[in-house]
Amino acid sequence: MPVLNIPATSANLGAGFDALGLALDLYNTVEVEESDVIDIASNDDIAVPTDESNLIFISAGDLYRVCGRELKGLRLRQTNRIPMTRGLGSSSACIVAGLVGANRLLGDPLTTDDLVDLAAQIEGHPDNTAPALLGGIVTAVFDGRKVHWVKQEVRTKLKFAAIIPDFELPTEKARACLPKEVTHKDAVYNLSRAALFSASLLTGKLENLRTACHDRLHQPYRMELIPGCREVFDIAYTHGAYAAYISGAGPTVMAIADESNEFFAGKVKFSLDNAGLTGWTVHEFRIDNEGTRFL
């Protein structure tokens, strides 16, 4: 039975709304096998849909239809390490698992580019699905049918601290709070910073990251839905973070720190507790440069 490892992702990276994302070394594992019936179960204590509403099954069915086949059933076993509705790409991991798993079951008829395109069509944007598939940091533009992407591997010695609250923020709610239109000034503000972020991260000019992750398109609005968010940003910077931003749609805050900042997570957690933000936890990750792969 093919077994897939799909990485968590962190999207937007501040100013790169719906365009930038990176993969992290936190993984969901999915076992997938053809079956005449739908046989879906979780290998851990995380409840998942066990019928045709399961997102992995839906995505696998989409790929089968693209290939002119009907998916009658599937045997799936999921291990869900990526927390759900926390801005770490849990839904994108399901989409990618379904597509890559189904593609393998059919003999890999679709190319990597095909899979990137189909994943974005299902999700609506490529900022999580592309890095989940490809690994590294991905810059992507989706024109409605095709994704134009560039993947770059990150070798700088950084760690990414996911500061995760004990409450969920559904993506639909996080998108509903955004304005329908923005000013030309705000658009220029974000464009310049998104470009600066990628270039600075990949060339090691890390002192730029704090400015580069500033944003006017989504973070100021989503902060209002995340109690304590501004305090979390301040705490991360107090303890030496290069950058802090809302991961994806939130509510997780991602802080980027140097590997030499040995006790960063512990210091942040101590300060969170002292500030009364006891429901937040801190988990450190590294960049995953490989993306989805079979074990």
Same domain (yes/no): 146, 229 = no
| Of 5, 10, 20, the residue nearest 161 (C-alpha) | 10
pLDDT score for 247: 97
Give the model confidence (pLDDT) of 34-74 as tens digits: 999 999 999 998 889 999 999 999 999 999 999 999 999 99
* Cα-based distances in Å from 7 to 50, 127, 243: 22, 13, 22
| Of 48, 51, 10, 53, the residue nearest 29 (C-alpha) | 48
Same domain (yes/no): 191, 70 = no
Q: Which of 128, 153, 178 is the last residue of a domain?
A: 153
Give me the phi and psi of 179, to 5 degrees please: -70, 150
- Whether 110 is in a domain gets the answer yes
Q: Give residues with Cβ within 8 angstroms of 114, minimum separation 6.
A: none
pLDDT score for 2: 82
Same domain (yes/no): 210, 177 = yes
pLDDT score for 258: 96
pLDDT score for 287: 95
Q: Which domain holds residue 19?
A: 3-153
In this prediction the pTM is: 0.94
pLDDT score for 155: 80
Q: Give residues with Cβ within 8 angstroms of 163, minimum separation 6.
A: 232, 236, 252, 253, 254, 255, 268, 272, 280, 281, 282
Based on its alpha-carbon atoms, the radius of gyration of the chain, rounded to whole angstroms, reads: 19
What one-character-per-residue DSSP string does the chain give?
--EEEEEEEEESTTT-TTTEEEEEEEEEEEEEEE-SSEEEEESSS-----STT-HHHHHHHHHHHHTT-----EEEEEE--SPTTSSS-HHHHHHHHHHHHHHHHTTS-S-HHHHHHHHHHHHSSSTTHHHHHH-SEEEEEE-SS-EEEEEE---S-EEEEEEE-SS---HHHHHHTS-S---HHHHHHHHHHHHHHHHHHHHT-GGGHHHHT--SSSHHHHGGGSTTHHHHHHHHHHTT-SEEEE-TTSSPEEEEEETT-TTHHHHHHHHHHHTT-TT-EEEEE-B-SS-SEE-
Same domain (yes/no): 50, 142 = yes
First vs last Cα of the chain: how many Å apart? 10
- Whether 295 is in a domain gets the answer no
- Whether 88 is in a domain gets the answer yes
Under-70 pLDDT residues of the chain: none
Q: Give residues with Cβ within 8 angstroms of 36, minimum separation 6.
A: 72, 73
CATH number at residue 70: 3.30.230.10
CATH number at residue 262: 3.30.70.890
- Whether 291 is in a domain gets the answer no
In the chain, the largest separation of any two C-alpha atoms, in whole Å, equals 58
pLDDT score for 62: 97
